[in-house]
Amino acid sequence: MTIELNSPLDMHLHLRDGDMLSTVAPLSSESFAGALIMPNLVPPVDTIEALLAYRDRILDATKGDIFKPYMTLFFKPSYDYDFLKSFGDELTAIKLYPAGITTNSEGGVSGFDIETLRPTLEAMSELGLPLCIHGETNGFVMDREKEFVPVYENLAYNFPKLKIIMEHITTKESIDALDKYENLYATITLHHLLITLDDVAGGMLRPHLFCKPIAKRPIDREALQKAALNAHPKVMFGSDSAPHPQHAKESCGCAAGVFTAPIALAALTELFEKHQKLDNMQKFVSDNARSIYGITPPAKKVILVKTPTNVPSSYGSVVPMFAGETLSWNIKEII
């Protein structure tokens, strides 16, 4: 049994930099035709020089694979039309982080006053640049995303021409918001389709499943699965694959992030087959993103075959999801 995917895309990917970039970038570029690259480095990617230099480092690390890094800029309220226009086709989207809410987000937005954000958001609206948002408040950890939904809705109402991507959504409330505003879209991760908080902390603590936003309740996972498996046209795959060295995960102050890049397509195929929805997988992992972002990725065909495959215990210093376990699907050929 096989399945063919045309130009699969990962629309939310962390590649880090330096040695980590060299380790993890090829694990995405081998099987994905492209990915939306997150800009929360230290320092953040917030100039054209930084963006182009990071793009070039990514291309060097991917070793000639057919792979398009779709670059993003770290959001600042001070960006104007001329500044953003100067990026031309090199800039695909801008990523907004609430200050201090996740890894390397200290320079993010401290408040969501519409008038403060207006200059950048109006320029983005005119240029057709999507706004990607890590949507969480500083409230109780299980309610942070739900509490942020009114912020999404306020932005969608005040900037109706702005495409707003609710990143790595985890709640039923976020799914419900998709159909309230024409300009709201979302990415969904592999791990949030599979786990709940019980998998992270219900028994022995599993640090390699700890992430932000944290996994939620079964009712939330059910809503995410329904949208993804039925290929809701406003959702797309974004792994939020976030590598950290093993010592940073297995420690006090565990770093937030689940590393899924090398096993994402195989695990997604297993999930879609389990629910008899393989016919919808192409839309979730590629077609919807092409439509939402208006992009044409490089031609790349990934053929997966149903055969048991053992997941390595680590890739360099990074431990993947399902480390040491067996998946029922594997990549057979990449054309």
Q: CA neighbours within 13 Å on the CB side: how many for 127?
A: 25
Amino acid, res. 310: N
Q: How many CA atoms within 13 Å lie on the side-chain side of 225?
A: 20
Catalytic annotation on 240? yes
The number of beta carbons lying within 10 Å of the beta carbon of residue 256 is: 15
CB atoms within 10 A of CB 118: 14
Neighbours of 138 (CB within 10 A): 11
Task: For residue 263, give Cα distances in angstroms to 47, 266, 335.
Answer: 33, 6, 18
3-state secondary structure of 130: coil
Report the C-alpha gap between 243 and 260 in whole angstroms.
8
Report residue 280 as tokens.
Answer: 């919808």
- Rounded CA separation 289/232 (Å): 11
List the beta bridge partners of residue 305. Answer: 2, 330
Which tokens hold the place of 90?
Answer: 């090199």
Query: In this structure, what is the dihedral angle of CA atoms 86, 89, 90, 95, given to the nearest 10 degrees?
Result: 90
CA distance linking residue 228 with residue 214, whole number of Å: 19
Given the residues 46, 65, 220, 240, the one annotated as active site: 240
Enumerate the active-site residues: 240
